Structure 1
Amino acid sequence: MKSLTEQARTFPTSPGVYLFKGKKNEMLYVGKAKNLKKRIQAYFFGKDDRTQISFLLKKASQLEFIVTDTEKEALLLENTLIKQHRPHYNIDLRDDKNYISIRIGLEHSSPGIATTRRVIKDGASYFGPYASAAGAREAVDQITRFFRVRTCTDREFSNRVRPCLKYDIGRCTAPCVKLVSKEAYAHQVEDAVLFLRGRSRELLHRLKERMDEASLQAHFEEAARMRDALFLLEGLNAKQKVVVHGGGDYDAISFARVGDDVSLCLLMVRHGALLDRLQYRFHHIKSEDDDLLSDFLVQHYLKRSDIPPEILIPFSFEGQQAGEELLREKSGRAVRLITPKRGLKRDMVLLAERNAQEELKRLREKKEGIEEILSQLAQKLGLSNIPRVVECVDISNLSGREAVGSLVCFVDGEPQKNRYRLYTIRSLNTPDDYGMMMEVLKRRFGVEASGLSLPFPDILLIDGGKGQLAVALRALEEIGVTGLSVAAIAKAKEERESDQIYIPLRKNPVTFKKGSKELLYLMRIRDEAHRFGLKTHRKQRTRKMLTDKATSSS
């Protein structure tokens, strides 16, 4: 096989994407370039000596490219490949699902409103994302209170034959059974959209007109509702006047970086008022700053339906014009990427940068704290390596029936949900801790799991006491797993006592001070395994009860 340097010499001068792959053909990094040859030569021939670049070159064993016709196509293809392969050293906005959005189903003749963590192309309008789920739900509550937009699902709407409770308490006008005209309901939805878009001046004017009209017609209850909505909006405006920043709608973005750790902050300004702050964290990032910013813009805004006309960024980057074209096509109007040099908008970018720096400082302090906890755990449990990767197994069952095994994974103190696993017990229908544990461990670590490509953890934690630890050790021995550190955690029998940790070849539990950070960390992992398993176990029991009920009734 040609060396990476030889492969780099064959790159064309066309726009396109380049792919760094590892020894097992796994995708390590995806990049884009207006001129592939020029970009790759910067990596290989002494023009880029940054540590992250040298690290990437050491890891890679293959280098490939895909040519595109334009720089804009390269930007789109890079985004598609990152979504498909999730390279370890690119930024990936999977964490975006942690932010909640508000959905108004404008594709429906009588749109409804709901909160969601999934933004898809379905004809609806999405507002957000909101950093606070409570804030988003409060907004929906205010909308149903004052604008009476329905919150039922489309299926519930189509099956209604009479109004629901929300109509009775004045939270909906019952478009499902045509107690409101389509025109009147459309006005309600328009008001809700104006509210969510922050167009309070226009909405205030509309509400005042309706309040006066309702008063003249002696519809005093409706007039009172309009009055309350006006008080709400005026209160919100009073709160926001202290953060006016030059007027207009825009997002201000900046980031802070130390080594491979990146914190990015996005400030949302609408009608001159700072409405929200979104924080993103990325680790193991090898991208250049230009690529990091470009990748974020594409991944973040191509999911959105409410792209602002201006996005303030800390610096200009190669491919910026192609990025603007993509965002214009997505939003249906001009979108400008601006690097302000002075004034209030420059201050907003600097404010985003300060927020990112503070968040990165907090994260690094947290990282140092977890390092101390892991080091103490290694010492307490007699481990040869620091337990960065911890997996925990918990068995949930009801007298042996509907049994499931849950497995959770924590890496450097944080849950890694892509490594969570649920195992429905197939072989047993009677209480048998050994048999159930054997099946779960065989499916995780045995021959059956060889194709899952999940590396072994630094330590396996079992929910239970000495008996469960012995069962796990026997099961691992039977399936031929050696060298894996195992411990068990037993819940305290009384509130005054602390949970107990058992390890092999030791009669008594390892002593931890009650409330010690090391013990609390292990308890947190055990509780997460229990929560994860119990959630699925309850679903299975409910499904079985419904199935049994349907069978008996037929």
Structure 2
Amino acid sequence: MQLLPFKNLSFSSVPNLTGVYLFKKGDKPLYIGKAISLRARIRSHLENAKLDPKEALIIKNCDKIGYQITDSEFKALLLESSLIQKYHPKYNSRWKDDKSYLYIKITSKADFPKVLSTRRENDRKSLYFGPFPSKKDVEDILGSIRKIFPFCQQKIISQRSCFYAKIGLCKPCPNQIISLSDKKTRIILKRQYRNNIKQVIRILQGDVLLVLQNSFKILKNLTKNQQYEQALLLRNKIQRFERLIYQTHFSADISTHFNRSSEALDNLLNTLKVYFRRLEKLHRIECYDISNLFQKDATASMIVFINGLPDKSQYKRFRIKSHTAKSDLEMLEEVFLRRFKQNWDKPDLIVVDGGTPQVLKVKTLLAKTTEEMAVLGGNRTWNPKLIGIAKQPDRIVISATDKLVTLRPSPHDLGFNLIRSLRDEAHRFARKYHLLLRTKRMML
């Protein structure tokens, strides 16, 4: 969770990305919300405070703003709900008593559990998730999950299949299961239905990666046992699920993150000049990131900014070739060794996504390359400056001449926000290639 002081808040320090935000007084959240664009939504709160008494109270009492970026609007919905339940914020419509709040109820103890939207009930035999601010939020979450892991919402079980069974949203349908005469088939389908409910519960608990990982294991077993028809259905389900949880909202025009790109670049240059005496310009900046989910289909990205703005024509993506590279550091080494061999324009600054370990690894490689490859692409020496951007909290790790220096600039620092934008874009580009490779592998 990133925190920004509310006083003299600069909107350029708030990302134009999807996530959850908190208005806080001290350590206590006053209001929690979600947004496709965090910057636009927070700005709207300040504008609405002129007309809305409730908004005015939030702004009056707030001393800091927190935000957490998510990969998709779906994840933002789940995170918002869990934070509201955890902190009980004062200005979230009196969440305890307000009837506008809804919960997702799962009758987990039932023979065939149902997934329902409901007001809060004191039913100890059921699981509750929420509260959710609107009926639309609940419908969006359940509608998205149901297309991947079908479930029943019919309150009374009968021997007549429901409408949703015909369109694949209640499959296997409990009504059809109980009407079967073959006991063995009933047991298999019942187990399948209850497994769907298990996955729904995990998703609502936020364990989306666990669900994805388990699905890949099942897919592997189905393929191994030559159950290709079932494998194909599961593969399609996994692809829908990945689109749901990794649907990024990234502006194609990164300059919206810092509409004063020239000023941001000058700010960053002045900051780094203190540590790199011979640094005269930041014409070309390269940023690297590794995407290595589940130790398979590992990829890396190199994104390029020219004069503070992205140049997508120079972006590069790498598929990790080494079968022995298990850690991000080993993969980073492979990527840089491959980069050094290319006759691409040399950077003035290299940024790596990571802290001290990553910076030290690349620093060692750069030193070794300077000795072994004194010339890169003709007579041009390879001697870029190097920094890393670490997380939680965001901070810059600078590879100075004889030591590493860690900086935690102000959230309003335009140069710092430029580095953040580089990191976020490299992460997006690496993940996009990672998902592409995984999809291709599953289709083989």
Whether TM exceeds 0.5 here: the answer is no
| Greater relative contact order (Cα < 8 A, sep 6+) | 2
Could you say which structure has the larger radius of gyration?
1
**What is the TM-score of this pair, normalised by structure 2?**
0.37
